Structure 1
């Protein structure tokens, strides 16, 4: 069984006292005090399941550092408030399956809180323990904001490419992927999604009309009671994307920001995650900055 490490103290960086930043409003908390907040951050520093290049284990600390400097005000929704940081999950040594089980021992408790969990990955394998506790008492759908479908078969053990196959076999009720790229997924995996009633919305469709693309993705999840949103940062175009598998043809940051704000406003939201941000693979901090602002935009949409 894993536990949470104590979070570090947050502070803003602006010399102007009028500049309220996330560093000024995010407070340290533990599981006992977390219910006093609307949303809680949980870091998951693990990248032992990546198929290609590691680096996502450094994501949680880098995203926090970048988020601390982001101002809290959104022009439409006002300021984000009431956010706490619960620290990082202590990730044990072991196989990917063992790590997923250990992380789940923490996420089960986090999901019991009144506060909305916002998980900072880590590679995409952490999606399994982040979502699995929700399957126990409700119909659940996942919106996977991703360049890839991540429904590979589990052969020699789970990987960052298998989370939605694992969750489907565990009882996930609905699945939609938005931001998927042509020529990034094998036909057999697209067929698997279609045969199991899933929805795929491409990056081209997002570029044509973000609102319509989100509506189509959510319509495929219309039958579920609870909705979980996962953002794999590789959904961004390679120009902005320091991650395990960057490719051209992806979303622009402003498209992703609007997308997650729209999704965040759905009343069924039960959790959010941002995965695969790898600071060591980043160029000039572009990806980390985009990841932090994605979290901010989601919280703005959810709290408005």
Structure 2
């Protein structure tokens, strides 16, 4: 289990508390009540990255993110913080994804608050989706928003990988006769083949490119116009943030750094938009994860700090709009 530690401002009392002082470490299956908690679940895996021919090292990502979270201030006095620890992928990715999905499902069933997955390669997404599906009714309509330079719609050949999770979700939706509601924000034309764009179009994937999202005067309007038709048709929202969506200068610690990338501020504004729209469209946003944190290539903990800030903002968004 990760050892949470950090600065202590005892002179400020409860208003000086930080994440490391709020966290409670529990195990999946524990009878400890998780109601009104933010719950962290780590996925120590880079097997999917290796299968996708990427730079390994993301297995150490969850604890790097925890280290960056530890000293952040805790702004939500009515909310507690729980850490379910890590699921580790040794040599069997599918088995580890199932174990991680079980932990996510447990947290969602026990908890009224936000559940946050810490990656790990983007193979975490298939586990996160499975966990949400298991926790809800079979007829639930799940929407996915992926901030990513890549569609991650590759066909497993033969292994699933960090590049295949949303193809796996698509196939799962086909099998269960449920709609495939998937949006990718920040996709790079320079990082996806025509075959991937063709499949995205054939599967009715919604997307905006990194270039389109770098027009600050129009980007939030474009996001609203793209997302609103999906948001009105779903019951549950799952948000996943791949750290390679951001410029390499901001997020060097990833498998595939981006030359252009999208703005962290844009992502933060979108997180708050998604939290706010729950009351408009009636869906629940209970699950989020951050993927591709690779400490081997990070510089001055830039990527870990960015991941921590995005998690902080997701918690703040949910807390402010529920």
Deviation at residue 248 of structure 1 after TM alignment: 0.9
1:45–1:56 Cα contact (<8 Å) kept: yes
Number of positions where the alignment pairs a residue of Structure 1 with one of Structure 2: 294
Contact 1:7–1:88 (8 Å) recurs in 2: yes
Paired residue secondary structure (1:41): strand
Looking at structure 2, the residues matched to 273 and 105 of structure 1 have their Cα atoms a distance apart, in angstroms, of 15
Deviations 1:78-109 (A, max 9, x none): x4752423232332533322322232232232
1:42 aligned residue: 41
Determine if contact 1:34/1:84 at 8 Å carries over to the other structure.
no
Query: In the TM superposition, what are the counterparts of 1:228-247 in structure 2 within 5 Å?
Result: 228-241=238-251, 242-247=253-258
Deviation at 1:227, TM superposition (A): 0.7
Distance 2:121 2:78 in 1: 28
Q: Aligned equivalents of 1:235 and 1:243: distance in 2?
A: 10
- Deviation of 1:14 after TM superposition, in Å, equals 5.0
Question: Is the contact between residue 80 and residue 300 of structure 1 (CA under 8 Å) also seen in structure 2?
Answer: no
Aligned to 1:116: 114
**How many Å apart are 1:131 and its aligned residue?**
0.8
SS, match of residue 277 in structure 1 = coil
Moved more, 294-303 or 254-263: 254-263
The match for 1:104 is 101
Question: Paired residue for 1:211?
Answer: 220
Pairing 1:26-37 to 2, within 5 Å after superposition: 26-30=23-27, 31-37=30-36
**Matched residues in 1 for 2:77 and 2:166: separation?**
31
1:191 deviates by 1.6
The alignment partner of 1:218 has SS state of helix
Q: State the SS of the aligned residue for 2:160.
A: coil
Q: Please name the residue that 1:125 is paired with.
A: 123
**Which residue, out of 257, 268, 272, partners 1:261?**
272
SS at match of 1:124: coil
Match of 2:160 in 1: 158
| Structure 2, unpaired ranges of 5+ | 174-178, 279-283
- Is 1:71 the counterpart of 2:73? The answer is yes
Gaps of 5+ in 1: 1-5, 74-78
Instruction: Give the C-alpha shift of residue 122 in structure 1.
Output: 0.9
Partners of 1:32 and 1:10 lie apart in 2 by: 25
Question: Cα distance, 1:16 vs. partner?
Answer: 6.1
Looking at structure 1, the residues matched to 269 and 89 of structure 2 have their Cα atoms a distance apart, in angstroms, of 36
Residue 236 of structure 2, aligned match among 226, 243, 246: 226
Matched, 1:84 2:81: yes
Distance 1:197 1:91 in 2: 33
**8 Å Cα contact 2:42-2:87 kept in structure 1:** no
Q: Contact (CA 8 Å) 2:4, 2:67: kept in 1 or not? A: no
Output the TM-score relative to the length of structure 1. 0.88
Q: TM-score scaled to structure 2, two decimals?
A: 0.83
SS in 2 for 1:94: coil
Instruction: Sort the Cα spacing of 1:212 and 1:283 in 2 relative to 1 into closer, same or farther, 3 A.
Output: same
